[in-house]
Structure 1
Amino acid sequence: MVTRIALTGLASAVSVVSLTLTGPVGAAPALPSGLRPLEGRTRPLEWGTGPLTVAALPRVTYVAHRGGAREVPENSMTGLVAAYERGTSQVLDFDTRLLRDGTPVVFHDETLNRTTYLGGEVRGLDAREWQGVRLRPKDALPGSWRSERPPTVEEVLDRFGGRIVLMLEAKDPRSLGRLAGMIRARGLTRSVFVNSNDPEVARRVHRLGLLTQLWRSARQLRTDRPERWRSYVDLLDVDHRARDADLVRAVKSGIRRVWAHTVVTDAQRDRVLALGCDGVITDAPGRLARAARRGTRQGTQRGARP
């Protein structure tokens, strides 16, 4: 059952008017000032003879978690476009769930309540009903954002696939076959990490020929033995709040990539990198990038000859 969340007060009513998506259903959402739209499904020039893959990632990788949820509306097409255009991360992360008819969509929660103007379970809708869902941008976000329909996974793969490495969390393991088909059909098996918290789901992802990402909480890492997963996990996604010893054990597990989530401060980033992690999953990629640039400039100035 889907319910509509009532808004109270004149200010809320004005917000609804200002956030209404203009144009036909499914039209590309308007972008913040200074951002240009991507070019649909045309083959990007940067592909060369093939799509951008994980082989192109830098030694230390930055991931825009849900597009950068402290800077853009999470799991929105506009937010993902903004993160891509700003160039402050090399990977775009988003969450996926299944609708009633099996359509994979980009959404984090089981219910619509927290991030949209509706209430009820995501799995209670079909693709036609999904067209009527509108995201509710947080007031605390910087800038001005319009409401828009959450995208489908297919739309995100078509817009970004091959242009940048993607990371999607399969919230519903039943979606793995459908997701694998979409990824393979677009030639993106080396360009998309498929994420889960369950080692057995990660094993299934590996058997499907996809890049496997396994995330673990600080509590789980206390008793985990990550070396057991190195034959089928391409990326171990660790909680930055874990103990130093647990993070070091993950780094030394033999798994090629160990990235830490969900980092929002310079101190958190610096700690996980010092312990050997080679990637940062962050809600604030723009802020961390600005801080990194400031640190580089200051270091250069300190090292300059008088």
Structure 2
Amino acid sequence: MEIWAHRGASARQPENTIAAFAAAMEAGADGVELDVQLTSDGVPVVIHDETVDRTHAGTGGVSSFTLAQLQKLRSRSKPKGDPTVTRIPTLAEVLDLLAAGNQLINVELKNSVKPYKGLEKKVLTLVSERKLGARVVLSSFNHYSLQRLRERGWTGELAAVHDGMLREAWRYFRELDVQAVHPPRHVLMVPGFVTRAHRAGFKIRVWTVNNAAQRQRCVRLGVDGIFTDVVKPKPSW
């Protein structure tokens, strides 16, 4: 089972920051998950919420700030050392860091609340420039966005994120041309969910799995990967 660091090693360092991704690499995660949105001047940045209020010392939507303005905001979590490692990073900065490692990279396009015109093209360009296509999974709650990624020539792995109980979903996901489904942990209550997914040809990666009992259940059910805030070496599990 693959261990994906959810927004980096976010139990150890502020989420979606260079510090969190570096900690995930150091901890030996199989992959890292990150979220991408656009600034007002069109730069892809790595942050989960559509506003900065929860994670950084500011107020307002991500898309209302320029990159320069965003990167002046300090993390609400106490920085450990250099504050630049806990500011809001660009996608380019994060990909440059991760390119030096061997982790898989799940880039989630956060465009289900705000459409962010052109986000797909910008993400594909940054991934292509770094020749990271073989290591990258592109995902989104916005399944129209997944279609646009295919239309723009993405031949790598796509993953559909969803947060509900979808009955007979496999035909839909097959038509969507995704290779993986990223559901919340509670879907594991559905008998045979993982087995049916595998039979239909899909990988299942579950979010967010943070304790030993949850991890062990995922192993028993044959889940392909988990997204976790708590990245630990596998032997200790």
Q: TM-score, normalised by structure 1?
A: 0.67
Distance 2:33 2:219 in 1: 20
Is there any run of 5+ residues in structure 2 with no aligned partner, and where?
none
CA change 1:187–1:119 in 2 (3 A) is: same
Distance 1:122 1:158 in 2: 22
Q: Cα deviation per residue 1:81-135 (whole Å; 9 max; x = unaligned)?
A: 1111121x11011111100111000111111110111111111111222231221
SS at the partner of 1:260? strand
Correspondence 1:133 to 2:73: yes
CA contact (8 A) 1:193 1:211 kept: yes
| Aligned length, in residue pairs | 224
Correspondence 1:123 to 2:67: no
Q: Given the alignment, which residue of 281, 289, 292 partners 2:227?
A: 281
Distance 1:224 1:113 in 2: 38
Q: Quote how far apart the aligned CAs of 1:77 are.
A: 0.4
Distance 1:271 1:236 in 2: 18
Q: Given the alignment, which residue of 3, 6, 18 partners 1:77?
A: 18
Partner residue, 2:180? 235
SS at the partner of 2:7? helix
CA change 1:99–1:294 in 2 (3 A) is: closer
Q: Quote how far apart the aligned CAs of 1:195 are.
A: 1.2
* Structure with greater Cα Rg: 1
CA contact (8 A) 2:16 2:35 kept: yes
Distance 2:130 2:236 in 1: 39
CA change 1:171–1:117 in 2 (3 A) is: same
Q: Which runs of 4+ in 1 moved over 6 A?
A: none
Distance 2:81 2:53 in 1: 19
The within-5 A match list for 1:144-163 is 144=80, 147=83, 148-161=86-99, 163=101
Distance 2:236 2:10 in 1: 22
Distance 1:62 1:76 in 2: 18
Letter in 2 for 1:72: Q
Give me the CA root mean square deviation: 2.1
**1 or 2 for the larger relative contact order (CA 8 Å, sep ≥6)?**
2
Letter in 2 for 1:63: W
CA contact (8 A) 1:161 1:191 kept: no
Q: TM-score, normalised by structure 2?
A: 0.86
CA contact (8 A) 1:238 1:247 kept: no
* Percent of aligned pairs sharing the same letter: 28
Letter in 2 for 1:293: P
CA contact (8 A) 2:71 2:89 kept: no
Distance 1:146 1:251 in 2: 44
Q: Given the alignment, which residue of 123, 134, 140 partners 1:190?
A: 134
Partner residue, 2:198? 251
Q: Cα deviation per residue 1:3-61 (whole Å; 9 max; x = unaligned)?
A: xxxxxxxxxxxxxxxxxxxxxxxxxxxxxxxxxxxxxxxxxxxxxxxxxxxxxxxxx21
CA contact (8 A) 2:141 2:162 kept: yes
Is there any run of 5+ residues in structure 1 with no aligned partner, and where?
1-59, 296-306
Letter in 2 for 1:278: D
CA change 1:120–1:74 in 2 (3 A) is: same
Q: Quote how far apart the aligned CAs of 1:162 are.
A: 5.9
Letter in 1 for 2:235: R
Distance 2:140 2:236 in 1: 35
